[in-house]
Structure 1
Amino acid sequence: MAAPIPLHPRHELQCSAQLEVGILRPNWLDGATYLGQRSVDGFLCNVWEKVDFITYFEDVVTKRPVHWFFYTGREAHVMTFEVGAVLEDSKWQAPVYCFDNTTKTSTDSATHSFLDGVLKGSAVL
Structure 2
Amino acid sequence: MATIEQPASLEEKLAECMDIDGAMAAAVIDEMSGMALATVGKLNGGADIDLAAAGNTEVMRAELKMLKHVGLGDDVEDILITLGEWYELLRPLTDASGKGMFVYVALDRRRANLALARIKLREVEAQLAL
TM-score range, shorter chain: under 0.3
Which structure carries more relative contact order (alpha carbon 8 Å, separation 6+)? 2
More helix by share: 2
TM-score normalised by the chain length of structure 2: 0.26
TM-score normalised per structure 1: 0.26
Select the structure of larger CA radius of gyration: 1
